[in-house]
Amino acid sequence: MSIQTAAADAGSLSTFNILHAFPESLVRGMRSSFLLDADYHHLTQCETLEDVKLNLSETDYSSAMNELGGSMTPPTLQRAAVGKLVQEFNYLRSQTVEPLTSFLNYITYEYMIENVILLLRGTLAGRDINDLIAQCHPLGLFRESTMRSIPTFESNAKGYAELYQTVLIDTPVGPYFAKFLQEAAIRSGGDTFGVIEEVEIEIIKSSLIKYWIEDFYGFSQKLGGETAELMGEILSARADTNSINITLNSFGTPLNDPQMRTTERKELYPAVGYLYPAGTEKLRDVSDEDELGRVLELFPQYAGIWLCHRSEVNGGKNIDDLFYERDVNMLELAFEGQMHFASFYAYVKLKEQEIRNLVWITECILQQQKGEINKFVPVFSMHSPWRHKVN
């Protein structure tokens, strides 16, 4: 069955269950594995990391806790929790057919990009390749030979071109890297090597993520039905988050120079999302937080987030915290409908948030900062503010 033929079926209520009912039932069953409000309450009352480990042994993380063996630390807990998520994801993927298989593969491309950037950045810092590979996300691993080849290229334009031509060209993220090289050459008048040498690793990462978002968005729209609608909303929000963060993080850097704002920074904004094209066009000229705020005030979905970000009485939340809260809201709602693929993406991202919560709680206990311990974003909490909004 070709992807093109099966894609039409993904949005069809009449044929969805024939192809995808079993993996969908699995992921909806996995929804019950998330920590409950009572679990978080018990974790935040713990005095030591051993207490945390004991409490987690009574949850769906029991097998991961057993595999830890000795004493637990925030990094070992994170690795164990991520390992559990990877096992579940790979099992789900093994039960799928097209186009759901390709949809799940798209989820892994983001981690592949992050791993490539991690290896490139680590090489610049002179770090050991074995340590770098150990820190790579398991969902984004290539063959070991590929992983070890990435840091061997020189950190300049010629090296990046050779990296693509000899290594990345055969990987799923190869097309994104090729597009980056091509557009960099166009901006520099054809001299690819001259421009790439001046591009920092973070700009390369932002470019690759941009291409991935646009590609994933296009693929989801071709699937049609509820998948297209829900993933369109989720990926539009993700694209806007990237655009806002790119603008915010550029302040005080060369990307905020007038000429760079209209060339390099503008090209990093995804060509999808609620801000695109009118909002991203305005972001091109933003030079400080006040101007950014005036742009976001024009978009109701972001005006409140920005106001809360700038408020002095927001409970110590920064803009990343507010985006996490918004994302959890959207991703939880993806489980409300049926016969679509968005629940698979939502499961992975909500588990990521749960893992961030566990790391935050254990770090607060380890550093004896119990006053900060409740500053996390619970998943499927009955106390979530959005569940009690009055329309």
pLDDT tens for 344-371 read 999 999 999 999 999 999 999 999 999 9
Average pLDDT over residues 298-310: 94
Tell me what pLDDT residue 315 has: 78
Is the model's pLDDT at 387 over the cut of 80?
Answer: no
Sign of the dihedral through C-alpha 157, 162, 163, 169: positive
Binning pLDDT at 50, 70 and 90, where does residue 198 land?
A: very low
Is residue 278 a contact partner of residue 292, using CB atoms and an 8 Å limit?
no
pLDDT digits (tens, 9 = 90+) for 30-81: 999 999 999 999 999 999 999 999 999 999 999 999 988 788 999 999 999 9
Residue 11: what pLDDT? 55
- Please, are residues 297 and 305 in contact by the beta-carbon 8 Å criterion? no
- The per-residue pLDDT for 12 is 63
Q: Which of 27, 35, 31 minimizes the C-alpha distance to 357?
A: 35
d(CA 149, CA 276): 37
pLDDT of residue 88: 98
* Bond preceding residue 254 cis, omega within 30 of 0: no
- Please provide the distance, in angstroms rounded to a whole number, between the alpha carbons at the two ends of the chain: 45
Instruction: Determine the pLDDT at residue 2.
Output: 39
What is d(CA 144, CA 133) in angstroms, rounded to the nearest whole number?
9
**pLDDT surpassing 50 at residue 151:** yes
Rounded to two decimals, what is the model's pTM?
0.94
Residue 390: what pLDDT?
46
Does the pLDDT of residue 3 top 50, yes or no? no
385 pLDDT tier (thresholds 50, 70, 90): confident
**pLDDT at residue 168, as a whole number:** 95
pLDDT at site 194: 42
pLDDT of residue 366: 97
**Looking at per-residue confidence, does 203 or 269 come out higher?**
269
**Average pLDDT estimate for 271-300:** 97
Q: What is the pLDDT of residues 246-260, one digit of tens each?
A: 999 999 888 899 999
66 in Cβ contact with 57 (< 8 Å): yes
Query: Both tokens of residue 254?
Result: 């060369």
Tokens of 335: 């489980």
Tell me the DSSP string of 171-198: STTHHHHHHHHHHHHHHTTT-HHHHHTT
What proportion of the chain, given as a percentage, has pLDDT over 70? 92
pLDDT of residue 1: 37
Q: Output the pLDDT for position 161.
A: 86
Per-residue confidence (pLDDT) for residue 10, from 0 to 100: 65
Maximum average pLDDT range among 154-158, 204-208, 385-389: 204-208
